[in-house]
Amino acid sequence: MEQGTDFWQEYESRLRSYISRRVRETDVVDDIVQNIFIKSRTSLHTVKSHGSIAAWLFRIAANAIADHYRSLKPWNELPDDLAAPEPERDYVAELATCLQPLIADLPETYRSALVLSELKGLPQKEMANRLGISLSGAKSRVQRGREKLRQRLLDCCDIETGPCGITGYEPRNKNRKCDCD
């Protein structure tokens, strides 16, 4: 690919027109065109085919225009006494801390099935092999364990849900021992 000034003469007026439609200040247009010329002269060897030169030059121009407008963005200092917003409560994380003690209180049959499948992430087939039971038995234990855990959690807390999941919770009885407090 020829790297003389021929390619520049071919594209300069089109680039200048493209840039001037997006940037009104003539001096800035001249600066951007000059920067594109410098970049194109130093990096032209990276262009793989002659047909992609135009796209490459106009991409450089678009980036240069964006950089120009980014540099104009005003930055205002924030006041020192500006308070940070209160972080939103992560109800799922809070309730997750309740699950360990509730799982620990489950009968061993369901506890071991839930720990292996839900906490350790084992596939139910592997869990069945470890527990020495059938696959359908493992699935049944996990399902029953989930239901018992869900019931214990609901006995402990009123859980509010919405389209995006858990939106809040409150302990049901402040006098009763509940790990969700």
Give the CA-trace dihedral at 48, 52, 55, 58, to 10 degrees.
Answer: 70
Phi, psi (5° rounding) for residue 162?
-140, -170
> May I ask the CATH architecture of the domain 91-171?
Orthogonal Bundle (1.10)
Which residues in the chain show pLDDT less than 50? 1-3
Write the CA distances from 33 to 19, 20, 50, 54, 65, integer angstroms: 8, 10, 20, 14, 10
Provide the pLDDT for residue 26.
92
Residue 158: beta bridge partners?
170
Intra-chain end-to-end CA distance of the chain, in Å: 72
| CA 91 – CA 152 distance, rounded (Å) | 17
Q: What is the residue extent of each domain of the chain?
A: 6-46+54-68, 91-171
Q: Which amino acid is present at 7?
A: F
Alpha-helix residue ranges (DSSP H) falling in the chain: 6-20, 26-43, 53-72, 91-104, 108-114, 124-131, 135-156
pLDDT averaged over every residue in the chain: 83
Which pLDDT score, from 0 to 100, does residue 1 have?
42
CB 98 within 8 A of CB 171: no
